[in-house]
Amino acid sequence: MNLRCIDLNLLVILKVLVEEGNATRAAEKIGVSQSAISHALRRLRMTFNDELFIRTPDGMTPTAYAASLAHTIEGSLRQIEDAIQSGRHFDPATTDRKFVMRVSDYAAVYFLPRLCREMRRAAPSAQLEVRHFDRRDYEQRIAKDEVQIRLAMNLRHEGESSSTRLLDDRFVVIMNPRHPAAGHAMDLARYLDLHHLKISVAGVGTNAIDEALAGMGLARKIAMTVPSWLEMRQVIETTDLVAVVPHHWLEAKEFSAFRSADLPLPHISLAIDLVWHPKDETDPAHTWFRGIVQRVFQPSPALQ
């Protein structure tokens, strides 16, 4: 086959279709219409004389030939992209690039307002798309062009992602300022005597607390369970319940008025990592964005 007969744009579309396994997602990622993807797929099938993809209930499954093609051309396309991008200067003040981030509730509460302010200041025309993790996706694979802020304990697939530590933190017990326990030392006996609000299964740290207590033959008094951190604050403000949160949350305005005490289980801690795809390692815009995330995520000296 003569290379001059092949439109390189079709190879890009083939690679993305293999990665996404879905025409709609491929169209969104490339920035074209779904009909353009369908037209390109017809041309690809004619060019390579192969069906390339088989429709299944889960999306589009590449044929063996399509998978082999995508693997072969990926490196070549990356070299072409790097050659085009090399030497270009990234200017955050003028960029209109869209940055994609996955973040969980426990990080979003503290982090997103600060990141938004910094992005608006440094890159006013840039876009930031924030997504939650799919709780059904236990593997949390990292996609190209996105970053993830997630628990270090959830970091999997070494070699398939790059990461750096954002924060090592501990947990504190929070309560409203009028709580009878406010201002008193928090030992384990006092902690167990209190009534608790618990974040349900996905709540970071909450299950570790109950597991640690169970190992000592103890249990706390759970008065209420909520599905996420977002429902917690007003309950704590207006009742005698207490809750456990990461220490760095105390810097957020919404939590600064609470009284706090160290969790009397010091071996339970929290580590949060910034994770990205290795293919984005040298992308100037991506490198800048990761730097912004790292700077913004640092707690103030008063909390360190």
Quickly state the pLDDT bin for 109 (edges 50, 70, 90): confident
pLDDT at position 3, please? Answer: 58
Name the burial class of residue 166, with classes exposed (0-12), middle (13-18) and buried (19+) by CB atoms within 10 angstroms of its CB. Answer: buried
The residue type of 207 is: N
Structure tokens at 262: 């160290």
Residue among 7, 14, 30 at smallest CA distance from 71 = 14
pLDDT class of 182 with cuts at 50, 70, 90:
very high
Look at residue 138 and tell me whether its pLDDT is greater than 60.
Answer: no
Between 78 and 103, residue with greater pLDDT: 103
Residues near 18 by beta carbon (within 8 Å), at least 6 away in sequence: 62, 66, 67, 70
Calculate mean pLDDT across residues 144-164.
73
H helices of the chain, where? Answer: 8-20, 23-30, 34-48, 64-85, 105-122, 188-193, 206-215, 232-238, 284-297
Q: Is 29 helix (H, G, I), strand (E, B) or coil?
A: helix
pTM: 0.61
Residue among 58, 149, 147 at smallest CA distance from 109: 149
The SS3 assignment for 261 reads strand
How confident is the model at residue 202, as a pLDDT? Answer: 53
Can you give the pLDDT at residue 304?
47
Which helix (H) or strand (E) segment holds residue 174: the answer is: strand 162-175
Query: In sequence order, which residues have a C-beta less than 8 Å from that of residue 64 and are 6 or more positions away?
Result: none
Instruction: Specify whether the CB–CB gap between 62 and 53 falls below 8 A.
Output: yes
**Record: fold of 3-86:** Arc Repressor Mutant, subunit A (1.10.10)
**Angle ∠(185,186,187) on CA atoms, nearest 5:** 110
| CA 268 from centroid of its chain's CA atoms | 22
Q: What is the CA radius of gyration of the chain?
A: 24
- What per-residue confidence (pLDDT) applies to 155? 47
- Considering the segment(s) 101-303 as one domain, its CATH architecture is 3-Layer(aba) Sandwich (3.40)
What local confidence, expressed as pLDDT, does residue 303 receive? Answer: 46
Question: Amino acid identity of 209?
Answer: I
pLDDT of residue 85: 63
Between CA 185 and CA 293, with CA 108 as vertex, the angle to 5 degrees is 105
Q: CB-based contacts of 68: which residues, under 8 Å, 6+ apart?
A: none
- Phi–psi pair at 239, nearest 5 degrees: -135, 180
**Residue 121 in this model has a pLDDT that exceeds 90:** yes
> Has residue 157 got a pLDDT over 50?
no
Per-domain residue ranges of the chain = 3-86, 101-303
Mean pLDDT score of the chain? 85
Residue in the structure block whose two tokens are 């384990």:
188
User: Which one of 76-85, 141-150, 197-206 scores highest in mean pLDDT?
Assistant: 141-150
Q: What is the DSSP letter of 25?
A: H
Could you tell me the end-to-end alpha-carbon distance of the chain, in angstroms, rounded to an integer?
A: 63
107 pLDDT tier (thresholds 50, 70, 90): confident
Residue 169 binned pLDDT confidence (cut-offs 50, 70, 90): confident
> How far apart, in whole angstroms, are the C-alpha atoms of residue 291 and residue 284?
11
pLDDT digits (tens, 9 = 90+) for 3-53: 566 777 888 898 899 988 888 888 998 889 989 999 999 999 988 899 999
The DSSP-derived string for 31-84 is TS-HHHHHHHHHHHHHHHTS--EEEETTEEEEPHHHHHHHHHHHHHHHHHHHHH
Alpha carbon separation from 239 to 65, 162, 176, 236, 258 (Å, rounded): 63, 43, 8, 6, 12
Q: What is the pLDDT of residues 240-284, one digit of tens each?
A: 999 998 888 888 778 888 999 999 998 888 888 999 999 899 888
